[in-house]
Structure 1
């Protein structure tokens, strides 16, 4: 008899694994499992699914001595572990109520119903542990064994007469504890593949889109509207993914097409209207054959076009589209890939558009300003954001906004002189981006005298701070930067403002400091430019002071103090 129980339970476990495999291949079910902030309706749907699985386990169980040897515990525990307390308890109520009604007044009807509720509680209690990634197969095995042992205890406590209950437990305890514990591991791992599969698909999309974006960067930085650049981009995408065509448009016309088939059809005005329509966020849309006008519909027989807008800020500047053959579910995977790629393109275009606008400045004083911007800063900032994207999308989004704010401050400033608070805030924005790159390896201290209110040349401070961040790492690898601004007495009736930046690096070589202060072209461009601007603005006796300290370098300058009215 015991051998028959083991065999029947093995068949039941195989049935549950088959059900789990079928369910995880349904996109709607996978979406329920992936939902981080599920609605009550979605949680109820999960509870119904697991409740149904538990009911199937009851029906396929083996009747023995007034009890049913079954695998119901597997569905109930999995519901609590993966779905949380609400899903776990609702599943337990569904399965427990069914077990009681299945055999009303039966020898073990009440005890099995109660034990089912206890199993729902057990699964719910370890939900957070599972979410934290702290549960493995061994934990699942012993959790199920504990649940089955509790069920045996409840049968002994509730089912009467006690002698019959003890005889029943002696028959079913070992098969149910052993087989359900093994079955739980197999069943759970099948459902857990939902997460592994989705993570793998997401990682693959990101890898592909990052690779394409990296190859396209050199062309995007030259401008979105130039046909030869966009043709190079469509060729790159076309070479990376299987499709019939890749199309890039601006808001009026097709800029580039890479295609296996005659590309004249993609340039038709009736088709272009679908690609240049208003943007609906950054979501991909499918253009089916049936959506097209009758005169061009035959040209797109058995084809579907997946299109997504390309944005700079909130403005749509064009579209990126891929044409594929009609196949089941292929459109969604292409859409997910296109959305990720378009976001990267939009970020790159936005940043490089800022750079382009900077180059258009015509004022002479800002021409000098542009030459002092470290060209590696933007590259490093984008690399930092790219790395953080995989780890913390929210943080990456904040950094993109910070980078945009940084360039907006530079672009929108058309004044040569700014108040010191504005200048300090500009430096703070720059340092926020650098802190994301160096993390705990960059420590900054800013001390501005209370009530200090004066004007300073625009963008005068960042090149000094940038130099300190770049070269100011101490022996322990930490970059410590101290920024200060305070009033000092220069002589009778003359007040100056001293602004200094101190680091704890190796300091300046004497020859390097001399080249900066004398304006030699081989010196630091940023610091040389600051020195020249100071002298041009305030006179030859004002300029940078560079000195090495016991543990680093101190770069400072003084300007006449003129309180703002």
Structure 2
């Protein structure tokens, strides 16, 4: 029994050695990670089927309860049997691949054993099939119970599967043979299954841990480079991004180019791979032309013309924005043996991330330009309706009061100078806005002398606050045009500008007729057409507030308890030179 145990340990040791070599092959690791796919199951059946046949060939021949010396069994004589690790391989096949893989491998191993014995031992076909099926079903149970990482469970499964095989041997080949080989084979199968599955699980766990670490590093790298690539492929941002990439990847050198020149080079070779000079390597030029990743395994393939260049290998990946090549990311090695499949995969992943970041930055810049254009378009709509009235008023005054007409022309100049400033800028100083308002009011008072009383109250420290251009003027103009109907006197408008914490509050209050209840919900949200205008000014103002501040910019209209209405603009307090 001891001799059989030692010999079986030798055979199982060979299987374990082959298993260890197999699980360290990258292709087999990926196969295990995708083992539920049909193609993966087919390959697992082939691999474990070959393992099972090998165990039949390397089995230990037993005749008359004695061990027959042999090395490779292609044929088994009548009245002899073999002790082997076939059940171990079938059990592992089921535990790795599930019932379909286990049962199929069991069937292959049993059929081979049947022909190896010259048609003797047909029960091995059924027993091997049953063991593979049961071990596969146990795998499903272990997954359900979340016990698939418990090593001792696999040892128990190995013992159980070999015990099933011994029941068949005892029944069909006699109890004497079963009694002789049961102990060593059950022990060996339990130990072997434990070791085999431990190797697989440890390898897969190491892969998961390595991927987790790599993913963590890549996410950190992506997060740190995001602000720089979003800024576009520029020298300063590319230099900062290249330094971060090299720090995380620990490569010999990192280089970033646009379509024409080197923007940044960090690490080895920086004495001649200098930013602001043209792309100097032939490899980079090919990538820019083809839009495909290229790999160089020698200095000659890199194509640097400097004879003292220390760069011995490189991966050059194109950077895209809107499906067009905008530059390259180059990962350099001073030792060509360090350029492996892992680095190639990393390079492709980083290029995809960085391309997305560049494209995101361009999209944001384009969006901001569109938003600015929309705001300026909305601002332009504020101006025309006032211009003709002012010209008519000045024209009439020129006949009877040339000095006042001259003064009003100056105010009109001030007013439209403010308009030009507003057309160039989305925000103005509050002090500039009040000057603009004063010019407007003087022109309006010339048309309707003493009809309106306008009071403005503001804290001095808020004069430097930034607000959307025309914001106050639009609210005052709205009150003058709509609040008082045709009333000739006692028309008061109060402008109050205050702040509360970090919020600037612009409030325009009148003592007019108020706002019809049906219109309150529409003001600022849609055009409200009236006899005195198109009703778009408040809508435009509200849209500008949302474009500039989002939900933090609010325009609110409400009726007072007594006569009149109050319009309130709330927006983030922003002072020239920084918030307080």
User: What TM-score does the superposition give when structure 1 sets the normalisation length?
Assistant: 0.59
Residue 239 of structure 2 corresponds to residue 231 of structure 1? yes
Alignment of 1:209-224 (within 5 A): 209-221=218-230, 223-224=231-232
User: Where do 1:130-279 residues align within 5 Å?
Assistant: 133-135=146-148, 136-159=150-173, 165-221=174-230, 223-261=231-269, 264=272, 267-268=279-280, 270-279=282-291
Check conservation: 1:144, 1:184, Cα contact below 8 A. Answer: yes
Q: Is the 8 A contact 1:250 1:319 kept in 2?
A: yes
CA distance in 1, matches of 2:180, 2:161: 17
The C-alpha deviation readout for 1:387-425, integer Å capped at 9, x for no partner, is xxxxxxxxxxxxxxxxxxxxxxxxxxxxxxxxxxxxxxx
Shift, 1:299, TM fit: 7.8
Structure 2 vs 1, CA of residues 302 and 533 (structure 1 numbering), >3 Å: closer, same or farther?
farther
CA distance in 2, matches of 1:277, 1:187: 50
Matched residue, 1:90:
104
Describe the shift of the 1:170–1:264 C-alpha distance in structure 2 as closer, same or farther (beyond 3 A).
same
Residue 531 of structure 1 is aligned with which of 529, 551, 555? 555
Displacement of 1:542: 6.7
Matches within 5 A, 1:379-528: 496=521, 526-527=550-551
Match of 2:372 among 362, 366, 371: 362
Equivalent in 55, 58, 61 of residue 59 of structure 2:
61
SS at match of 1:212: helix
Distance of 2:52 and 2:337 partners within structure 1? 32
Q: If you compute each CA radius of gyration, which structure gives the higher value, 1 or 2?
A: 2
Check 1:326–1:110 CA distance in 2 against 1; reply closer, same or farther (3 A cut).
Answer: farther
- Report the counterpart of residue 44 of structure 1 in structure 2: 42
Note if contact 1:249-1:276 (Cα within 8 Å) is conserved in structure 2.
Answer: no
Instruction: Report the Cα distance in structure 2 between the residues aligned to 1:306 and 1:534, rounded to whole angstroms.
Output: 65
Q: 1:326 to 1:183 in 2, by over 3 A?
A: same
Are the equivalent residues in 1 in contact too, given 2:11–2:58 (CA < 8 A)?
A: yes
Answer whether contact 2:280 2:304 (CA < 8 A) is retained. no
Between stretches 61-70 and 265-274, larger displacement belongs to 265-274
**Local SS of the residue matching 2:289:** coil
Moved over 6 A (4+): 297-302, 366-369, 490-495, 497-500, 532-535, 542-545
Show structure 1 runs of 5+ residues with no match.
160-164, 370-489, 501-520, 546-565
Q: 1:35 to 1:534 in 2, by over 3 A?
A: farther
Report the 3-state secondary structure (helix = DSSP H, G, I; strand = E; otherwise coil) of the residue aligned with 2:327. Answer: strand
Deviation at 1:121, TM superposition (A): 0.9
Q: Is the 8 A contact 1:244 1:323 kept in 2?
A: yes
Deviation, structure 1 residue 181? 1.1
Out of 97, 118, 139, the position equivalent to 2:130 is: 118
Is residue 336 of structure 1 aligned with residue 349 of structure 2? Answer: no
Q: Deviations over 1:8-27 (max 9, x none)?
A: 22222322221111112222
TM-aligned CA deviation for residue 39 of structure 1:
4.9
Name whichever of 116-125 and 324-333 sits farther off: 324-333
In 2, Cα distance between equivalents of 1:152 and 1:322: 59
Query: What does residue range 366-381 of structure 1 map to in structure 2 within 5 Å?
Result: none
Give the 3 Å change call, closer, same or farther, for CA 540–199 of structure 1 in structure 2: farther
Conserved 8 A contact 1:247-1:321: yes
Q: Which residue of 2 aligns with 1:414?
A: none
Measured against aligned partners, the alpha-carbon deviations of 1:146-169 in whole angstroms (never above 9, x if no partner) come to: 21222122223433xxxxx11111
Supply the distance in 2 between the matched residues of 1:95 and 1:331 (Cα, whole angstroms): 38
d(CA) in 2 for partners of 1:294 and 1:279?
A: 18
Structure 2 residue matching 1:276: 3-state secondary structure = helix
Instruction: Quote how far apart the aligned CAs of 1:252 are.
Output: 3.1
C-alpha deviation, 1:260, in angstroms: 1.2
Q: Deviations over 1:223-267 (max 9, x none)?
A: 222112211221222233343321112233322112313564693
2:188 & 2:568 partners in 1: Cα distance? 82
> What is the distance in 2 between the residues matched to 1:343 and 1:62?
56
CA contact (8 A) 2:48 2:105 kept: yes
Alpha-carbon distance in 2 for matches of 1:247, 1:211: 19
Q: Name the CA shift for 1:129/1:276 in 2 (closer, same or farther; >3 Å).
A: farther
Counterparts of 2:558 and 2:359, CA distance in 1: 32
- Whether 1:31 and 2:30 are equivalent positions in the alignment is yes
Distance (Å, rounded) in 2 between the aligned partners of 1:217 and 1:191:
38
Secondary structure of the 1:232 match is helix
Distance 1:534 1:195 in 2: 67
Once the two structures are TM-superposed, the CA of residue 309 in structure 1 deviates from its matched residue by 3.0
Are 1:73 and 1:119, in contact at CA under 8 Å, matched by a contact in 2?
yes
Q: How many residues align?
A: 387
Work out whether residues 252 and 276 of structure 1, in 8 Å CA contact, stay in contact via their aligned partners in 2: no
Q: After TM superposition, give the deviation of residue 312 of structure 1 in Å.
A: 3.8
After TM superposition, give the deviation of residue 184 of structure 1 in Å.
Answer: 0.2
Provide the alpha-carbon RMSD of the alignment. Answer: 4.0
**TM-score normalised by structure 2 residue count:** 0.58
Q: Structure 2 unaligned runs (5+)? A: 66-79, 380-514, 526-544, 571-580
Structure 2 residue aligned with 1:7 = 6
Deviation, 1:38, is 3.6
Paired with 1:5 and 1:124, the residues of 2 have a C-alpha distance of 29
Deviation at 1:334, TM superposition (A): 0.9
1:348 aligned to 330, 352, 357, which one?
Answer: 357
